[in-house]
Amino acid sequence: MLFLENCLQTVMFQDETHEPVSVESSIQVVSSLSDNESQTKACKYETREAQAGAVSHAETQTDSPVPRIQPHVQYDEGRLADFLKRICPKVLGELDKVQKSRAFDRYYSSRVEEDKIPRKLHSLNPSSGLPIECRLNCLTWSCTGAVLALGYGSVNHESWCDHRSKINLFNINRPNFSTTTPNQTLETKSCVSCLRGHVNESSTLAAGLVNGEVLVWNLQWEDDCLFGSSETSGGGHEDAVVQIYWITDPSSDLGSSKSILVSASRDGQLIFWHLTSKTGGLRRGQGFGIPYSHLPQLEKGRGLNLSPDELLPITCFSFMTNNSSNFVVAVENGGLFRCSTITTKPISGIDPEVNLSDPSSGSFQSHNGQIRDVQFSPDQHQMFISCSSDGEIRLYNYEQSSPLRTILHDEGIVNGLSWSPSNSGIFLCWGIDATVYFYDLNPTSLSPAFCLKNSTENLKVNFALHSPQ
């Protein structure tokens, strides 16, 4: 055993030497390089749009029927009979008085189903005081729907307008209402181009004239009811006023109902007018204009012979119903601009004392003809419609440049629009004939839902407007 252990120790610690082994490298001494190129075809881009169909959802929830159990009431029939004998003659006497009274002459129960066929209620025809060449240019309702104001003007304007004209006011709710004699007449120094009743005060009426003057009346004043004129306040228009409108003052506090008057003219100015309640009169506020530099934005910037320092002539405008700081402006060549009173820019070449700025923040797809009217929806606040001499009626969203829907009016030119105050999907329009057309946007049909025709020949509709009531 001792010998074996010694042997093992000798083997374990013995030195050994091995021959080295080498491996030749496979790396090439000379590297080879080559360049290759390839050319791809030009990339093609294609954009397509799709419009989803109109979808309408309606739901209703009914209550589970619960049987009503009438409790049995104990009463004395003799005492009830005595009460009826005593009170019945007095009740019958009062009913006889009501039958002879005129207090309920114009009362109509809301439960009575109205006629589905429209009826002509009145035909106003002032008998005297109007020149032969005068025509009805515009009309407006008071906020209560009781007073209708008619504005007249001449059909011939070769140069500056100096025609004497008038505004006739008819109160259709008065017992002595006459269709030929107005309840009140207002005289003007020029033809009346537009009218607008105040949104809250039924006695306040505003008018725009062909000579550029803006007038406001307080009909409650007996002697001289003229409240104010842009001619006396200064800073007014230099061309015909095309539209006036009452809006909530965008600069007023949140929740305030203070109203201001907005006027627009072919001179390119859109002006805010404040009513000075203490002293009476109009005070010019902020002014806006679309400068010539925006003309290249329009798809069809033709037909305007202007110098670079001029403003684009305005044809119509409309303010958003729930946010009067946002509005749209249409110019004479079919252009339509998205505007805001908050994000305005100075206009180069304009005197800073004039208080005129550029409200445009973008443009919408242009019409092929002149835009005659544009109106925001009273309920769907982002939506508005426009009509043009090209015969198209377009529905826009304020945030989108392309129209949501386009209606081609079969009768050609569309001169005006008016939303229904009771149904947000219905509006009326008129053109160059004697028919008023009613469209319903809810169904997918692009044809008029109803037509109101005038049987009299050789007439055409100049203006149409829904009553606020």
In 62-180, alpha helices (H): 77-100
Nearest-5° Cα angle at 465, 460 to 469:
145
Q: What span, in angstroms and rounded, lies between the C-alpha atoms of 467 and 381?
A: 20
In 184-274, alpha helices (H): 230-233
Cross-strand bridge partners of residue 417: 429
State whether the Cα torsion 440-384-416-147 is positive or negative: positive
Sheet holding 147-154, edge to edge: 134-141, 147-154, 165-171, 184-188
Burial of 167: CB neighbours in 10 Å, binned 0-12, 13-18, 19+: buried
Q: What span, in angstroms and rounded, lies between the C-alpha atoms of 427 and 437?
A: 8
Chain centroid, CA 246 distance in Å:
12
Give the C-alpha distances (Å, rounded to integers) separating 395 from 199, 341, 407, 420.
25, 23, 8, 15
Tell me the residue type at 200.
N
Q: What span, in angstroms and rounded, lies between the C-alpha atoms of 147 and 171?
A: 4
pLDDT in tens, the chain (469 residues): 544 455 445 555 677 777 888 777 666 566 677 777 777 777 777 777 766 666 676 777 776 666 666 667 788 888 999 999 999 988 988 887 776 665 655 554 444 445 567 777 888 887 666 766 788 889 999 988 889 999 998 877 777 787 888 999 999 888 888 888 898 999 998 899 999 999 988 889 999 999 999 999 998 887 788 999 988 877 889 899 999 999 988 887 665 678 999 999 999 999 999 988 766 789 999 999 999 888 776 655 455 677 777 889 999 999 998 889 999 999 988 899 999 999 889 887 777 677 789 999 999 999 988 999 999 998 888 899 999 998 999 999 999 999 999 999 888 889 999 998 888 788 999 888 888 888 888 776 677 888 888 766 667 788 788 787 7
Neighbours of 273 (CB within 10 A): 23
Give the C-alpha distances (Å, rounded to integers) separating 157 from 164, 243, 278, 311, 423.
13, 18, 38, 23, 39
Q: Are 238 and 203 a contacting pair, CB within 8 Å? A: no
pTM tops 0.85, yes or no: no
